[in-house]
Structure 1
Amino acid sequence: MKRTIIYHINAEEDGLTIGQFLKRKKYSGQNLTQLKKQEQGILLNSKPAYVIHKLAEGDTLTINILEEEISEKIPPVPLPVHIVYEDEDLMVLDKPADMPIHPSMKNYENSLANGLAWYFASQNIPFVFRCINRLDRDTTGLTIIAKHMVSGGILSVMAARREISREYLAIVSGTGMPPEGTVDAPLGRKPGSAIERMVDFEHGERAVTHYRVLQEKNGCSLISLHLETGRTHQIRVHMKYLGYPLIGDFLYYPDKTLISRQALHSCRLEFSHPITGQPMVFTSPLPEDMQQVLR
């Protein structure tokens, strides 16, 4: 993966070292270490430079990212990949149901990562898989993929700082919920289970979910959810805790009468571009299987 990023230094940045400037751009310490190891990684006015060099107004700082390694444990498989957006730094994909993000021991060749490995291998582009907002296997919708180490580092920091706004749509069992509300209940592992989570006020990590009811139909409610934190199974456990579990959820409400998988969809992402800073908004419509429940 090759990427060249060019910065033109203005008056406000005059006097900063290259390292200070790049840290203001949210480059991580690891990013700087990796760039220093590359022969042409950092150029100041077309000449190799160190991170301690000072910048002056009118300077041109060039960052050359070269990644030749690949994710060796992710075999390329010709799977369909629905690309909503792609540029030199990131991709936004719309993930279908029944597709995990990563390969696993029992599902080594049917993941989003496998499909992306094929997509880049077919273009002879080395690719390291970096997924920013991971979705459960049967959760559909939008997910962000970083295309190189710098965008990956910046997007990961943005996610940790809650600078990526995520909206989900879910269909829960039951009607009569308060029109909107917030669930602030810590989550922890369920004893005796490797994958299940539970509300645990004694040992759990803080988890906050905001919800709003959009529609009631057929004994179910369509709700919009915004995550303030990103714990494993957060929406699924919080809705069950409220008494309105997601329909079709094999772990927390295994009733597949209306739908064959958990009715959860990542419908909207909003964030600033990690390199340009431009605002970005992406949406994905409600999938057909969830629409059918509401007809």
Structure 2
Amino acid sequence: MLKTCKKGNWFEIIIPKTWDGITIQELFQRKWNSPKKLTHQFRMEQKVLVNGQKADWNKPLTPESKLQINLFEEEEINIPPQYMEVSVLYEDDHVLVLNKPPFLNTHPNDLSKDTNTLVNAASFYLQSKGEMRNIRQIHRLDKDTSGAILFAKHPLAGAILDRLLENRKIKRTYIALVQGLFKQKKGSIKDPIGRDRHHASRRRVSSSGQEAVTHYQVIKENTKKQVSYIKCWLDTGRTHQIRVHFSHIGHPLIGDTLYGGLPFFKRQALHAAKLEFLHPFTEEKIVCHAPFTDKPVIFQDIDLYTL
């Protein structure tokens, strides 16, 4: 794990031996995959120092030297804050993980009109702590899906996490309650998903759709009620992917009436229970478990910490 600390608006990294010989330019472009525009901004605005001095972006770094990056300046807020209680699963100077309740949109579709979303709540939370910066969501959940969502607190962290997500290095494990009992208790669904031209909000399995891969494992069954509790994780992130895939194989999610689920609950029984990722700067492995919040309880006697 890297040695780091925050000093005012500056973030300091003690250069490890593994970075010996790489330049700041290579660090931003190759290791962190920072967008060209953002990298150029850090360079032109002299937001990077080495041992307190103006950095030479093309000079190799040496172990134990101090790399200082101006990451924490105040920003002009473009996400309207909206107060609501938030459940914090993990937080530091760079990232924030919240436990999203059901029946709440992840982000506004119209910044000026939609303020009752998790992004607006996260914006209020940051500002209430004196952090005048725009929150950046890394992924999303459907309105009626609950669980862990990852946010970045500044653009560089956002860029690094975006690339980790793109490279499938952020793992999200879901719990779902579905109809029926499985003959095969563990497997993968690899059917492509596309839009349903007959329904504006639905998706469907389609040979012309985008690649979609869902892995699953049955963790509990109720033979009397003919339902199964499953954990699943994705190689891709298509809209409604879990809901579409399990409906397609004859096991729609309980409560998911859009895809044929029985209306035992007011929402689809889907929860993002576990989130795993490498910290964008310290490279520490972060594991977050998101407690269930439904009343009445949907996921009976499931131990999140065994997933």
* TM-score, L = length of structure 2: 0.87
Q: Aligned ranges for residues 227-242 of structure 1 at < 5 Å? A: 227-242=234-249
CA contact (8 A) 2:97 2:151 kept: yes
Equivalent-residue separation in structure 1 for 2:89 and 2:99 (angstroms): 6
Aligned twin of 2:91? 86
Aligned twin of 1:116? 122
Q: Aligned ranges for residues 136-285 of structure 1 at < 5 Å? A: 136-201=142-207, 203-217=208-222, 218-253=225-260, 255-256=262-263, 258-285=264-291
Cα distance, 1:289 vs. partner?
4.6
Equivalent-residue separation in structure 1 for 2:162 and 2:242 (angstroms): 21
Q: Any stretches of 5+ residues in structure 1 without a counterpart?
A: none
Identity of matched residues, % = 37
Aligned twin of 1:98? 103
Q: For 2:81, what is the secondary structure of its paired residue?
A: coil
In the superposition, relative to structure 1, how do residues 292 and 235 fare at CA in structure 2: closer, same or farther (>3 Å)?
closer
Structure 1 window deviating more from structure 2 (228-237 vs 247-256): it is: 247-256
Equivalent-residue separation in structure 1 for 2:196 and 2:138 (angstroms): 25
Counterpart residue type for residue 29 of structure 2: K
Equivalent-residue separation in structure 2 for 1:293 and 1:267 (angstroms): 11
CA contact (8 A) 2:50 2:65 kept: yes
User: Which of 59, 63, 72 is the matching residue for 2:65?
Assistant: 59
Equivalent-residue separation in structure 2 for 1:235 and 1:71 (angstroms): 34
Cα distance, 1:177 vs. partner?
4.0
Counterpart residue type for residue 245 of structure 2: H
Deviations 1:209-230 (A, max 9, x none): 0111111222211111011111
Counterpart residue type for residue 213 of structure 2: V
Instruction: Kindly report the root-mean-square deviation, in angstroms, between the aligned alpha carbons of the 2 structures.
Output: 2.3
Equivalent-residue separation in structure 2 for 1:81 and 1:127 (angstroms): 18
Q: Any stretches of 5+ residues in structure 2 without a counterpart?
A: 1-7, 302-307
Deviations 1:220-243 (A, max 9, x none): 111110111111110000000110
* TM-score, L = length of structure 1: 0.90
Matched pairs, number: 291
